[in-house]
Amino acid sequence: MFYDDNADLSVIQGRHVAVLGYGSQGHAHALSLRDSGVDVRVGLPEGSKSRAKAEAQGLRVVTPAEAVEEADVIVVLAPDPAQRKLYKEAIEPNLVDGDALVFGHGFNIRFGYIKPPAGVDVFMVAPKGPGHLVRREYSEGRGVPVLVAVEQDATGKAWDLALSYAKGIGGLRAGGIKTTFTEETETDLFGEQAVLCGGVSALITAGYETLTEAGYQPEVAYFECLHELKLIVDLIYEGGIAKQRWSVSDTAEYGDYVSGPRIIDASVKARMKEVLGDITDGTFAARFIADQDAGAPEFAEFRKKSQEHPIEAVGKELRGLMAWVKSHDDDYVEGSAAR
Ligand SMILES: NC(=O)C1=CN([C@@H]2O[C@H](COP(=O)(O)OP(=O)(O)OC[C@H]3O[C@@H](n4cnc5c(N)ncnc54)[C@H](OP(=O)(O)O)[C@@H]3O)[C@@H](O)[C@H]2O)C=CC1
Ligand SMILES: CC[C@](O)(C(C)=O)C(=O)O
Ligand SMILES: [Mg+2]
Ligand SMILES: [Mg+2]
């Protein structure tokens, strides 16, 4: 594990950084690096709706090509499917030997959509958390753990720079782990699909549907299967699964042992292995990129269907009645997954 004492902030402070993209991760990296005393400019296309936000937050915005030309550390934080074209059009023509190309996730390198030239450093600092929380934690003096990998060390100094960058966004306050682009990409895609996003969303929805279809009140089902999850996860975050079992009733703990494995049984684990297989052999990446290249019709349909689920309407109403449950993010539009 790497912590703040293992990195020298002056390394990244001595470079010129271009953050391309100002979404979930882009705004967090750009603002936290700026607050860590680093020279940062943001690269966004003319007409990008993020331009006004970055400027309002005190950052200088230029086009991606101008940003790459000015800088010697180029951070690729546009959406994964947009990175290939961004690289071809704005990054590759303006890269010079000695520059560093930085990623927040290894997708485009792991699946071969981007192939950097030999003379540049290529590294990754991948926060293990959503960008809005990466920024929130940094601002509150804490951090989100990061995975750090060097794919290409052209200058012989890529590790020092990568760790310095990780310190600049607050990642080494929480801890950094050395990894590879392959390990980060495959575990990250698996985690978000099987557990953190796909698995949890499907579990919540199935629980809610089971209760409401049996005639229980939707509001009771929402509190039981969604709202209380945060309170339970807070205990797991603080003290592992054991602490959750320490706080819940013996009735709940016994029911956990009896019924948990009936829900998440060996067949679920077998399907998790299939999901991991689709990730490692490139099936998932190819399906995602093909849909994006076709204008994302499958993605749009998935989003529409999930946003129309009754759990979202019930949740909106109930959250509106709890003054303390409010979004920390001014630009979040209630009920929409789109950024
Ligand atoms: N979201 C997360 O929390 C995490 C993301 N990552 C990784 O970080 C990277 C960025 O993901 P994320 O933050 O979700 O991305 P977002 O979807 O939030 O990125 C959107 C931003 O990118 C801009 N953008 C879109 N196209 C371009 C382009 N061609 N050139 C420059 N900017 C562009 C958008 O501008 P506009 O407003 O005009 O659309 C917007 O500012 C990915 O590699 C992802 O896997 C890693 C860990 C967690
Ligand atoms: C869990 C989703 C994630 O991998 C993340 C926030 O870490 C992502 O790609 O957004
Ligand atoms: Mg992740
Ligand atoms: Mg991810």
Positions in the chain whose pLDDT score sits under 50: none
How far apart (Å, rounded) are the C-alpha atoms in residues 238 and 63? 43
- Residue 50 CA: which ligand 1 atom is closest? 37
How much is the pLDDT for 331?
Answer: 84
Q: What tokens does 79 get?
A: 């959406």
H or E stretch at 148 = strand 146-152
Tokens 């993605």 sit on residue:
299
Strand order in the sheet with 176-178: 60-62, 39-43, 16-20, 73-76, 100-103, 121-127, 146-152, 176-178
Ligand 1: residues with CB < 6 A are 20-26, 43-45, 48-50, 64, 77-80, 82, 86, 104-105, 126-127, 130-131, 339
Q: For residue 328, what is the DSSP state?
A: S
Q: Would the ipTM clear 0.95, i.e. be above it? A: yes
Please pick, among 16, 27, 29, 105, the residue that the annotation labels catalytic. 105
Judge residue 171's burial from the number of C-beta atoms within 10 Å of its C-beta, 0-12 exposed, 13-18 middle, 19 or more buried.
buried
Q: Is 192 in the pocket of ligand 2 (CB under 6 A)?
A: yes
Tokens 């409401």 sit on residue:
212
pLDDT digit string, tens, across residues 96-129: 999 999 999 999 999 999 999 999 999 999 999 9
Give, in order, the Cα–Cα distances in Å from 316 to each of 15, 210, 333: 45, 20, 11
Mean pLDDT of the chain: 97
pLDDT digit string, tens, across residues 176-225: 999 999 999 999 999 999 999 999 999 999 999 999 999 999 999 999 99
Q: Are 258 and 265 in contact (CB under 8 A)?
A: no
**Which residues neighbour 116 within 8 Å (Cβ) at sequence distance 6 or greater?**
95, 101, 109, 122, 152
Q: For residue 2, what is the DSSP state?
A: B
How far apart (Å, rounded) are the C-alpha atoms in residues 57 and 119? 34
Ligand 1 mutation target, pool 20, 25, 184, 189, most atoms within 8 A of CB: 25
3 state SS of 17 = strand
CA of 243 to the centre of ligand 2 (A): 25
- What is the model's pTM? 0.97
DSSP H helical ranges for 95-249: 107-110, 131-139, 158-168, 171-174, 181-190, 198-213, 218-222, 228-247
Residue whose CA is at the smallest distance from ligand 1 atom 45: 105
How far apart (Å, rounded) are the C-alpha atoms in residues 121 and 159? 9
Nearest to 138 by CA among 295, 64, 28, 50: 28
Torsion of CA 51, 64, 339, 25, to 10 degrees: -100
Instruction: Say how many CA atoms lie within 13 Å of 104 toward its Cβ.
Output: 28
CA of 215 to the centre of ligand 3 (A): 37
AA identity, residue 255: G
**Which residues neighbour 76 within 8 Å (Cβ) at sequence distance 6 or greater?**
20, 21, 83, 86, 87, 91, 101, 102, 103, 104, 108
In the residue annotation, 105 being an active-site residue is answered as yes
Residue whose CA is at the smallest distance from ligand 1 atom 4: 130
Binding residues: 22-25, 48, 50, 131, 188, 192, 224, 228, 249
